[in-house]
Structure 1
């Protein structure tokens, strides 16, 4: 895929200052956990608590990148409870936007691997257990990118009854649950990514920092699917992404801008634009162009299902259309031979 986006090294011009540093810098971390944040100290505290409860067998750095240039006193007050833990708290000199702040987290990271953890999500003990096993393999170089499954923590006040109950979990019970060991792994390449983004933002995705830099930045012009666009660029440039079945995090759903009609519409229109680019650049078969309109319609149905208003129900015809589409996608991505 063409590299027409701005490279991470270009976005490095954005500067940050250190507000608090309790880290130990005598070793180079193998993993950086970068937490971009903006005016959500209550949720950030829960996120940090979940991170500091993990037990890694290798050096890890934790860095928070605050995209609010002001309110130093408030930030220091809110994060002072974590002074006994090792982390660095950065403040951006200027607000660089949501995706720009993700980029800044990677710019500032020192680890060979980096994961971007949203300031309202939580990591589970399985995250550390899986990485202890996979990043410290004695016989082989770890994969350049590792992705894991996560659990949806649906905390919307008026969550529709149509949403399956298994999406709502007891965070404390899941956090206390021990890891079941190495989960099964499935590779996903350009064909799978053409039909949708399997990730919840960046939660549970660990990638080599140097390769992330070489691929290029999260491009804000692709809002609200800049993460999806980045993964598509990764698989086209680097290769398939292994996704492990182990659940390693909690992805929080709350009332936010994803519910705004304009944003929901943009998910569909920008995804279609991205798929058209993948076809034109030859990273998926040309006949996929016949599926563009249908994929957009089904994506809208799925978004509407996830964001039903209280009391609304999913139409049977819509549910059937989604089921038939999934069967077609399964055939195209798993049964037909790849080039």
Structure 2
């Protein structure tokens, strides 16, 4: 695998595969300020919820919704298109790829077809909160082309909350979390920020660095977002903008592979972090060991008793480092 900070044009791989516009009226939103982009495959029931959340934004500016269907197994209307038709919303532009171009290929096609200068992903099994666009575009006025990554809630397959963020939470009744703060490559090194849902990116920046590289499957999003931050900077928004669904999806089938590619990405990041390599190597070992157990519990459905195998030295090291982020979030 190449270094994650190398630029590669990943858009050209499937350039010969057309995406045909099936429905939507460009005249209803001639100059969108931001695009909600939705790469979809075969989750029509979840898509219904996701699309509803995209349409019910409280944002007062012009925005479009791009839905790109990667399902080439059906000769007629796909289940996803039937869902889109239910809403009868002309600002929803439904495209269908004439050939399946893979998950990250479809994510790249979303970038290409977005007409606005800024875009927000909404995957078909997640959902945006009503404040997502208004919050993100408000921060964009302060941050320019920096990426804006966001806090999120976790829901299960039924849409029930597993974990809900508390906005404005205080520590010891005194310290209130900042509503946003600068997010560094080292922050990416320590913690992933999700899959792009509910986060804002400048289209020109995504195009410049080449989009998602499938070579880093299944965590090409992690590689791209770290690269974006390295070149253009980013901030972290502590006010939740989306609900992330924990349900049977791609992650459940590839979480072991994910861990190994994560480790490779951490190694690439070392060049962009001003800390000694021996310390970073020790952090990588601790992260790998602890994440391996966490993934087995979360995605492998193993018993939580596995936590007893966590090494005390690994836990202490990671806790000490996470205190630096605590200080950043609360402004000490």
TM-score (norm 1): 0.81
1:169-192 Cα offsets, whole Å, 9 max, x none, are 6xxxxxxxxxxxx96112221111
- The worse-fitting range, judged by mean Cα deviation, of 79-88 and 105-114 is 79-88
Alignment partners' CA distance in 2, 1:335 and 1:80? 48
Partner SS for 2:310: helix
Residues 81 and 22 (structure 1), Cα distance of their counterparts in 2 relative to 1, 3 Å cut: farther
Retained in 2: the 8 A contact 1:183–1:246? no
1:196-243 Cα offsets, whole Å, 9 max, x none, are 31x22111110110011112211111111111111111122222x211
The yes-or-no answer on 1:232 pairing with 2:226 is yes
Alignment partners' CA distance in 1, 2:302 and 2:289? 22
1:1-339 → structure 2 map (5 Å cutoff) = 2-8=5-11, 11-24=14-27, 27-69=30-72, 70-75=74-79, 76-131=81-136, 133-135=138-140, 137=141, 142-155=144-157, 167-168=162-163, 184-197=179-192, 199-239=193-233, 241-260=234-253, 263-279=254-270, 281-285=271-275, 286-287=277-278, 288-307=280-299, 309=301, 312-318=304-310, 323-330=315-322
Partner SS for 1:167: strand
Cα deviation for residue 132 of structure 1 reads 5.1
> How many residues matched?
310
Cα deviation for residue 37 of structure 1 reads 0.3
Cα deviation for residue 26 of structure 1 reads 5.6
1:31-59 Cα offsets, whole Å, 9 max, x none, are 01110000221111111111111122211
Partner SS for 2:293: helix
Residues 333 and 78 (structure 1), Cα distance of their counterparts in 2 relative to 1, 3 Å cut: closer
Where does the alignment leave 5 or more consecutive residues of structure 2 unmatched? 165-176
TM-score (norm 2): 0.82
Residues 212 and 313 (structure 1), Cα distance of their counterparts in 2 relative to 1, 3 Å cut: same
Cα RMSD over matched residues?
3.0
Where does the alignment leave 5 or more consecutive residues of structure 1 unmatched? 158-164, 170-181
Retained in 2: the 8 A contact 1:156–1:253? no
Residues 10 and 87 (structure 1), Cα distance of their counterparts in 2 relative to 1, 3 Å cut: same
Residues 78 and 72 (structure 1), Cα distance of their counterparts in 2 relative to 1, 3 Å cut: farther
Cα deviation for residue 168 of structure 1 reads 4.8
Retained in 2: the 8 A contact 1:36–1:118? yes
Alignment partners' CA distance in 1, 2:131 and 2:313? 35
Residues 322 and 50 (structure 1), Cα distance of their counterparts in 2 relative to 1, 3 Å cut: farther
Retained in 1: the 8 A contact 2:149–2:237? yes
| 2:170 aligned residue | none
Residues 318 and 67 (structure 1), Cα distance of their counterparts in 2 relative to 1, 3 Å cut: same
1:302-328 Cα offsets, whole Å, 9 max, x none, are 222323637553434528566424323
| 2:167 aligned residue | none
Partner SS for 1:125: coil
